[in-house]
Structures are given as structure tokens and as C-alpha cells.
Structure 1
Amino acid sequence: MTMTLKTGAMIGFLTVAAGEARADLWIETFDADAQQRWSYVQDGVMGGVSEGDLTFEEADGASFARLKGRVSTDNNGGFIQFRAGIRGGLPSETAGLRLRVKGNGESYYVFIRTTDRKRPWHSYRASFTATEDWRVVDLDLASFTASHAELPQTFTPENITGIGFVAYGRDFDADLLVSDLGLVMAQ
């Protein structure tokens, strides 16, 4: 099965049920109806010329989201992404995000949006490399940095309103596969 999204606004939300927090909690496995929770956005919304798409695929018994395209910094551009809203924030015990990813060896970002955001482009950001083989990457929330001086330098998990996977900031061909998104809980 392949489902493709070329453009979109925020169309869905992830929800973490209270009391379900544990170290191996996967909050998204990109299976049933993932296209209703995740949307594709590119820099064309601001005049940029990056191009790509988001597909939801299955291979070897695994479901995953695939962000593929060409990132261009021409015309003040420089990103393609897929993102979802978070209803009610994350549990206060959340110490980080756990990703199962694969890709073309490039660096990608996770952007976190919070209630502190004053502009649509404000976020907290952390990078990771997507290798040619599936691997698990843990990103401590403390490692995320504010995109702009207007944002507080830190945030709390309860204030998270959205998560995005982003190919960003330089001219390159993007090919990012994400099969799972989870939480790392404080011990």
C-alpha cells in the first residue's frame, strides 16, 4: 500500500493516553490511517521552490512514512517536512523521543512546536542522520535548541503541540523513512 500526500495543512493529531507512559512507548507506527494524522508541507508556502512528497508505504512487514524530494535554498526556501499535532502535550516524564529511521545518509531534523511559539516558523530542533539501514535514534528533549531568540531556551513535554520530520537548510536530495516514533521516559 502506498498513499501519497503532496500538500496539506495540519490534518491530524497524535494522542498519548494518560497512564500509558513507559520507556518503550511507541506513539506512532505509521500503520492504519497515518495519512489522517500526518501532513506534508514545503517551503512553497513562503515562496520557496523545494519539491517533494510524503508517502505511506509497507515493505517486509513494516509500515513507514517516506519523505522524498529536492530541498532548495533558492528564493529564500530550504525545507520539506511532514508533521502532526499533539493533543494535550506529552507526559511530564518524557525525557526524549525515540525514532526508527532509515535514509540516504543525510542529516535530517525533528522540529518540535510548543505553546511558547509566537510565529508559525518557531520551533525547537534536533538533528539526526538517517543511514541506509534501519536504526533507532534517541533524541533527548534537552538537546533541542530554540530556532529563534524570541523562544524560551527550554520547554516542558506538556507544552508540546506538534512534531515534524524535516529535510532542511541546504540544497540536497532527501529520502527519509520513519517507521516508528516513541517516547523515552525519565528513569
Structure 2
Amino acid sequence: MKRHSILLTLFIGVVLSFPLLPATAEDTLPITFEDFETDAIERWTYVADRVMGGVSSGDAHMVRDGDDSAVRLKGVVSTENNGGFIQVRQQFSGGWPEDTHGLRISAKGNDQTYYVFLRTEGLSRVWYSYRFVFDVSNDWAEFEMPFDKFKPSHEGMPKAFTPEIIKSIGFVAYGRDHEVDLTVRRVELY
């Protein structure tokens, strides 16, 4: 009995002598932010420039691609009448983990240029955002989007942001007349 007690005391002493290390980004990331599965249609909203008098048109809906779910943004962007965008976006609270360095998405489309718009707390205008540009083809591709490569949309905005103050993400067709067909099947934080 005494020997068992000594061994148990030694074991506890050894275990407690190791420092408790906090989880790091390498331990917790990547995190799947969106896989477009359960109730995704309730989290994502279609928005067009018509709210500002523009004439762009389209829609966003959930689709299946093999075993994967995805969101598909389809329509026409028109710069007539001071318009020029359609998007599908998700608003959320609580931001993302502070050790997040960027986004990784899987997307395909119609050989066009698209944007990811991130909005953060404290932006003074609803049209302000941080933007990342990417080009899609007809084949699925992975896109890494480091936060330090997102550009502020307007002068006077802070040049950088921290992930814990992000409050929305949008996949956007923007700024020029063109047909839109963008499908995104996964959004990861890394």
C-alpha cells in the first residue's frame, strides 16, 4: 500500500511538473466556418444593388455537387443607374478566433473575377469593407486568402483588421457589367 502511494505521488508530481500550454493556431486551425449543410439557407442572404436603385439581378441558392453542398450566386451585374453588384453574404456576431490568419475557400465559376468582402465592427459606412479578389474557372479550386492581403475599400479606413471584429463575409460580383455564376462549397479559417 505504501509503495502504491509513493508511485501515485511520483506520477502526479511528474504530470504536474509539465507546464500547461495554451492551444495554438496549429492545434485548433483550420476550422470549417461554413460547409453549406444544415440550414445554410437561413444563414446566407442574397443582396443586389437594387436596394440603391441599381438594376443588377440574380439570386443565390443552395445546391448539391456530388456529396458536397454549396451556395451558388447567379445573375447579371449592370453598372446602369449607379449600380454594379450582386452578392451572397452571411452576417454573424462574435468574430473569428484571434489566431486566424486567413480564409481558404473552394470555388468554381464562369471564368470571371469575384470578390470576398469582409465587414468589421466600427466601419462608419455600410458600403465599407475589406476586399480580396480571386478568379475562378469551371473547375473546383482552392483559394487561400490571407487577411493581410485584403484591401480596404475606401480611403480613411484602417489599413488592417483583426479577425475577432469581423461581422460578415460576402461573395460578391462587382464593379463591371458581366454575367455571374459563382459556386462556393467550403469556407475554412486557417
TM over 0.5: yes
Q: What is the aligned counterpart of 1:147 among 128, 137, 153?
A: 153
Gaps spanning 5+ residues in structure 2: where? 1-22
| 1:132 counterpart residue number | 138
**How much has 1:59 moved relative to structure 2?**
2.5
Contact 1:116 1:151 in 2 (8 A): no
Structure number with higher strand proportion: 1
Distance 2:30 2:148 in 1: 19
2:69 to 58, 63, 72: 63
Q: Which digits, 9 at most, give the CA deviation of each residue in 1:135-166, with x for residues without a partner?
A: 11000100111111131111111110110000
Count of residues in Structure 1 that have an aligned counterpart in Structure 2: 166
Q: Tell me by how many angstroms 1:116 deviates.
A: 2.6
Match of 1:103 in 2: 109
Aligned partner letter, 2:42: Q
Gaps of 5+ in 1: 1-18
Q: Which runs of 4+ in 1 moved over 3 A?
A: none
In structure 2, distance between residues paired with 1:115 and 1:37:
19
Q: Percent identity?
A: 48
Task: State the distance in 1 between where 2:79 and 2:24 align.
Answer: 41
Rg larger for: 2
Distance 1:179 1:20, change over 3 A: farther
Which residue of the other structure, out of 91, 96, 105, is the alignment partner of 1:90? 96
Partner Cα separation in structure 2 for residue 70 and residue 27 of structure 1: 28
Structure having the higher helix fraction is: 2
| TM-score of the superposed pair, with normalisation by structure 2 | 0.84
Q: Note if 1:170 corresponds to 2:161.
A: no
